[in-house]
Chains A and B, each alone.
Chain A
Amino acid sequence: MRRLSWFNTVSLTLGFAFLYIPMLILIIYSFNAGKLVTVWSGFSTKWYGELFQNEAFLDAAWVTVKVAVMSSTLATILGTMAAYVMVRGGKFYGRTLFSGMIYAPLVMPEVITGLSLLLLFISIGLDRGTTTIVLAHTTFSMCYVSVVVSSRLVTFDRSLEEAALDLGCAPFDAFRLVTLPIIAPAVISGWLLAFTLSLDDLVIASFTSGPSSTTLPIKIFSAVRLGVSPEINALSTIMIGIVAIGVITTSLMSKRAITRRQRDEQDAI
């Protein structure tokens, strides 16, 4: 049944054209010499130069990366724990509430999450700044991590863990030496997902940031609200480039890891 009809070919071509042409246009026009984003007036890289002289953007980029590293690391730890509890925890008091709190943030409108966290921080008297953004980002991205990790844990052969325990491994050592290496690819992709979610977030960061901790999306949003700017196109191109390189490298690496594992398994037999 693996043959593409003309209909499949057309829908795949149009679908991917729809997904990629807007980004290609954005990238092409970041090299436009003119100020107008819609009229081509020759090749130039001057917007990149201006971008790197813009202190406000560089500061915001630094805050954003700091927040993303901290929140994605925390989210990975908490999310992996949550996934382990969901898949291996068995029955415990309040399990339904727990699974509800894991899935709800995935679809919760950001305006609600942002507003509610801000009101929490104000009512406990926590000053808005980097810390509050990290707490907010950790909370919603740990749910994504736990979904990614639990989908790996579900397909994982439990007898390996049990064998380790039977052979006298302490529970934590069994987790560290057996479970963790096997679910590692899922944990890493969970971290990457949490990292990009944090880099990307505008709404929750707007609610929970203070005046001294403006993140890059907040800066971009205020710059593009009124119109298009070639500097933002240059910035977007850099961000798209980083993501593309990252995603392609990790997918090639995981592909290599899979073939290596398959070969090892072959050799073992």
Chain B
Amino acid sequence: MRRFGLISVPYLWLLALFLVPFLIVLKIALSDYTLAIPPYTPTLDLSQGWSGVTDWWAGLDMENFWFLASDDLYWKAYLSSLKIALISTLLTLMVGYPIAYGMARAPDEWRPTLMMLVILPFWTSFLIRVYAWKAILSNEGLLNQLLMYIGIIQEPLVILNTNLAVYIGIVYTYLPFMVLPIYAALDRLDASLLEAAEDLGCSRLSAFWLITMPLSKQGIIAGSFLVFIPAMGEFVIPALLGGSKTLMIGKVLWEEFFSNRDWPVASAVAVILLLLLIIPIVLFQRNEEKHREASR
């Protein structure tokens, strides 16, 4: 009985505040837009019992989804989010791996400090960390001042309000998510394997490619999912650092909802985004469960 209570409280909480809301999003995505408060007409009326369901099914026109498919703004936004998320995940991996690798090879007494230095930015406000780049990347910003002072460039580079600024923002803010799982994987790596490889005449570089890389795969996969999935739906970074030409689906959803007040279309955008993310999310969960089972 006690066990039942222990399971049911968090279970019911998550059902009511995580799963049910998604069903509501789905329902509203299939509703019609009207100028009212709330701005939609539900097409599914459960109070009418079974006939309500059959009426809904007969009148189901998927209007909002057809609208999304017909307007190429949404196509472009999905594709460009996918592109931005993929490129920035790759960049984060390229920046994060050497850091994790360096941490794993650092002397034992440095490690707690290095760990704390990686985690500390994660505890500071996301919004503030994104905002910090605005003063650096703008036309009269510090990066341009520095580059012009050194004499590399004569004219200021336009970085703020472009996709490049979005890439920088994503790499910067999600870096701890990439470094920590890779570091955890590298930390478990048995150093005697590398010594054996070196004794057998393997060069350090090929020992890295043949042993270190494959054995840190778990960390690379986990880190990449942790960057890619939230980056797909990112809103704050494109809103603060991107320009009017930066199309990302999170920003489109926000504008449909807050500026156009078209809730059914915003819900339809959310449903499609979720469908796109369901495969990486399931893969990520599998990876985590497998890892948890293995470490038990």
B191 pairs with A1, CB closer than 8 A: yes
**Which residues on the A side are within 8 Å of B135 (C-beta)?**
25-26, 29, 37-38, 228
Task: List which A136-151 residues lie within 8 A (CB) of chain B.
Answer: 136, 138-139, 142, 146, 150
| Cβ contacts A1-41/B at 8 Å (1 or 0 each) | 11111011101100110111011011001000000011100
In the complex formed, the residue of A with least CB distance to B128 is: A236
Contact A16 B117 (CB under 8 A): yes
Complex Cα–Cα for A200 and B125 (A) = 5
Q: Which residues of A contact B108 (CB under 8 A)?
A: 2
B232 an interface residue at 8 Å Cβ cutoff? yes
Interface string of B1-34 (1 = CB under 8 A from A): 0110011011101110111111011001000000
- Tell me the complex Cα distance, A135–B6, Å: 20
Candidates A81, A110, A119, A142; contact of B24 at CB < 8 Å = A119
Which of B15, B125, B240 lies at the interface centre, i.e. has the most chain A CB atoms within 10 A of its CB? Answer: B125
The smallest C-beta distance from A16 to any residue of chain B, in angstroms, reads: 6
B84 contacts the other chain (CB 8 A): no
| Bound: A122/B125 CA distance, A | 29
Are A25 and B2 in touch, CB under 8 angstroms?
no
Taking chain B's interface residues, is the majority helix, strand, or loop, or is none over half, making it mixed?
Answer: helix
B111-153 contacts to A, CB under 8 A, are 112, 114, 116-121, 123-129, 131-136, 138, 140-142, 145
What distance in Å separates the Cβ of B13 from its nearest Cβ neighbour in chain A? Answer: 6
User: Would you call B123 and A8 a contact (CB within 8 A)?
Assistant: no
Given A15-B98, A38-B142, A112-B270, A22:B133 Cβ within 8 A: yes
**A residues 219-237 touching B (CB-CB < 8 Å):** 220-221, 224-225, 227-228, 232, 236
Residue B65 lies at the interface, judged by CB distance under 8 Å to chain A = no
A11 to B106, CA, bound (A): 12
Does more than half of chain A's interface fall in helix, strand or loop, or is it mixed?
helix
Whether A203 sits at the interface, judged by CB under 8 Å, is yes
- Stretch touching chain B among A47-55, A100-108, A178-186: A100-108
- Kindly provide the distance from the CB of A240 to the nearest chain B CB, expressed in whole angstroms: 5
Q: Does A168 contact B (CB under 8 A)?
A: no
Contacts of A2 in B (CB 8 A): 105-108
Name B277's closest neighbour in chain A (CB-CB): A109
The minimal Cβ–Cβ distance linking B281 to chain A, given in whole angstroms, is 6
Q: Are A101 and B18 in contact (CB under 8 A)?
A: yes
Complex CA distance for A11 and B15, rounded to whole angstroms: 45
Q: In the complex, what's the smallest C-beta–C-beta distance from A226 to chain B, in angstroms?
A: 10
**Cβ distance B293 to chain A, nearest Cβ, rounded Å:** 10
The reply to whether A4 and B140 form a contact with Cβ atoms under 8 Å apart is no
Surface stretch bound by A, among B53-61, B68-76, B213-221, B282-290: B282-290
Contact A111 B121 (CB under 8 A): no
Binding site for B on A (CB under 8 A): 1-5, 7-9, 11-12, 15-16, 18-20, 22-23, 25-26, 29, 37-39, 78-79, 81-82, 84-85, 89, 92, 94, 98-105, 107-112, 115-117, 119-120, 122-123, 135-136, 138-139, 142, 146, 150, 154, 171-172, 196, 199-200, 202-203, 206-207, 217, 220-221, 224-225, 227-228, 232, 236, 239-240, 243-244, 246-248, 251, 255
5 tightest A-B CB contacts, nearest first: A109-B233, A11-B98, A116-B21, A15-B99, A8-B102
Q: List 27 A-B contacts (CB under 8 A).
A: A4-B107, A8-B98, A15-B95, A19-B175, A23-B128, A25-B135, A81-B6, A81-B10, A103-B284, A107-B225, A107-B229, A107-B230, A109-B277, A116-B22, A119-B263, A120-B17, A142-B10, A146-B10, A150-B292, A203-B236, A203-B254, A221-B127, A221-B240, A239-B124, A246-B123, A247-B123, A251-B112
Residues of B within 8 A of A (CB): 2-3, 6-7, 9-11, 13-15, 17-22, 24-25, 28, 38, 95-96, 98-99, 101-103, 105-108, 112, 114, 116-121, 123-129, 131-136, 138, 140-142, 145, 172, 175, 179, 191, 194-195, 225-226, 229-230, 232-236, 239-240, 250, 253-254, 257-258, 263, 266-267, 270, 273-274, 277, 280-281, 284-285, 288-289, 292, 295-296
